[in-house]
Structure 1
Amino acid sequence: MKVEIENGKLVQVIDFMYGLKLARKHSRFRRRLIDLLREKARIVEEDRIELLKEHSNKDENGEAIIINGKYDVIDMVAFNNDLKELYAEKVVIEGGDHREMIRTIKQALKKFEDVEYEGKESETYDYLCDQFKIDENEEGEDEE
């Protein structure tokens, strides 16, 4: 049992999960998932800044030049390609310690099958359903 979430969708997933009305166990595991994803999102943001520095013009001390709060990127195409690659990488949450969290979040997502979503929320819900495979039953999983 594992879930993979693209780096580029971490913030979107965190925001969506935060907005769900959940109680007790579902709420606790949602918080754990959000905490885990926030840490991954923080690392992705650090990597994005490193890419900016790497692709920027440097001053005489070898530091990236920042003009009006923005990095002075030399080759925006190369930067965007590297950024696309970073955002396409996936966070993998596997069973073991996370088995119960994955199972509980899957149950929580199933509870919202009849809710109508629009726009980004709809995309995010569909994405999470795919990643958590809510249409598939894991061996030994209880139906609720």
Structure 2
Amino acid sequence: MKIAIQKGKIVSIINFMYEEVTVVRKQSRMRRAFIDLLKEKQEAYNKERTLILEENAQKDEKGKAIVKSNGDYDIVDTVAFYMDLKELNEEEIFIEGSDHREMLRTVKVMLRKLEDREYGGLKSEIYDYLCDQFELDEEETTAPEGGEK
């Protein structure tokens, strides 16, 4: 199994998993592993975002990005900055492989259990996005390990 997640949605997915998914035992451990993995990806995203800020900021005489007193960068070209940021947000991270197979299967089961809940706003958008990424609407094409379909 392999899933792709847009970098700009990582924080919302982490929040959704914390707020909406109530689990115990193995599912709790797998949710924690999924969230921890997403947090690692978010840290890398934050570094990339800072680089974009620094690249698009006005520079001082030493060539360092100027940061205003309120902590914001002094952006020179906001259009270029927002285009770069939009591109970064739409880039995808991939989670796949044997190391994450059980975690991904378990998260998929957790998401299936949430099918009858009603969501609104951002929660609805994130749930639908996760369903698409985990392909919940598609039929299983292979039998589970050790059993028949």
1:56 aligns with 57
Instruction: Report the Cα offset of residue 138 of structure 1.
Output: 4.6
Q: What is the CA deviation profile of residues 106-126 of structure 1, one whole-angstrom value per residue up to 9, with x for unaligned ones?
A: 001001100111111111111
Contact 1:65/1:71 (CA < 8 Å) preserved in 2? yes
Within 5 A, what are the aligned runs for 1:102-117? 102-117=104-119
- Which residue number corresponds to residue 11 of structure 1? 11
The superposition leaves residues 77-128 of structure 1 with CA deviations (integer Å, 9 ceiling, x where unpaired) of: 1111111111111010013111111111000100110011111111111110
Let me know the Cα RMSD of the aligned residues.
1.4
What code does the residue aligned with 1:41 have?
Q
| 1:22-74 residue CA offsets vs partner (Å, 9 max, x unmatched) | 11111111100000000101110111011000111111111100112110111
Percent sequence identity over aligned pairs: 52
Kindly report which structure 2 residues correspond to 1:2-81, keeping only aligned pairs within 5 A, or say none. 2-19=2-19, 20-68=21-69, 69-81=71-83
Q: TM-score, normalised by structure 1?
A: 0.95
TM-score, with structure 2 as normaliser: 0.92
Structure 2 unmatched ranges of 5 or more? none
- The separation in 1 between residues aligned to 2:44 and 2:54, in whole angstroms, is 15
Task: Extract structure 1 runs of 4+ deviating beyond 2 A.
Answer: 140-143
Q: How many residues align?
A: 143
Q: 1:138 to 1:35 in 2, by over 3 A?
A: farther
Distance, in Å, in 2 between the alignment partners of 1:97 and 1:67 is 44
